[in-house]
Amino acid sequence: MTWSEMQPLLSQACWDTLYMVGWSTLIAVLGGLPLGVLLVLTDRGGLLQNVLANKVIGQIVNIARSMPFIILMVALMNFTRWITGTTIGREAAIVPLAIGAIPFFARLVETAVREVDGGLVEAVQSMGGNTWTVVRKVLVPESLPSLISSTTTTIVALIGYSAMAGTVGAGGLGDIAIRYGYQRFETELMWITVAILAVVISLIQFAGDYAARTLHRRGGHSGPVPKLRLLKASAATSDTV
């Protein structure tokens, strides 16, 4: 296969992969962020302590995380067909990709939020801040560098999942590698696909690490100006007191 023949295939495959990963990441963040924060709030000693609810939610997250992605895709076929009207193609792949990524991201969010200095939370509470104020003005902003790193990790994982989804008709770079590289013995195309995946992952990892470091230096979580952050967080409660 010549380069002129490979180019349109690779271009479409790259777009399909980015499309699947982009939408899946958005859904995972929108679903996983509140879920991860809820796991912290409902834990023992949390602002919304409810040990039973915490254990139930935590167990559901653990079960979802432990399921291999290929099995998850098969298990969700009927649900995927109900949502998208089909079980193949990039739109159909977004459903299991997002559902698989939500619990993964939620655990990363939980870890990030738990690292926030409890003194900041107590200070805002002492000023009359409610739970929503603590979450919005302290927990999320203070853990933002870690949350960006968690998002980067999730994107990288989703790229790997999307390659697996390509083996069952989702399209993307995984589909090209299997259909042409493996089944048709187009070894050169397969290695080009692997190289593209490696470059994309490296760029995403670099961008995520750079963003996290930049926020960290500007006073994010564990930054150099905790007193200033405390004053800002305390002052922000005036809207709710």
Tens-place pLDDT, residues 93-146 = 999 999 999 999 999 999 999 988 888 888 888 888 788 888 988 899 989 999
* Res 199: pLDDT: 93
Closest CA to 194 of 165, 167, 174: 174
Per-residue confidence (pLDDT) for residue 37, from 0 to 100: 95
pLDDT in the model for residue 236: 53
Euclidean distance between CA atoms 97 and 173, whole angstroms: 15
pTM score, two decimals? 0.85
Q: So what's the pLDDT on residue 121?
A: 85
- Residue 219 confidence (pLDDT): 59
pLDDT at 203 over 90: yes
Q: Do the Cβ atoms of 91 and 165 come closer than 8 Å? A: no
The CATH classification number of 3-239 equals 1.10.3720.10
pLDDT (mean) for 173-201: 83
The DSSP secondary-structure symbol of 190 reads H
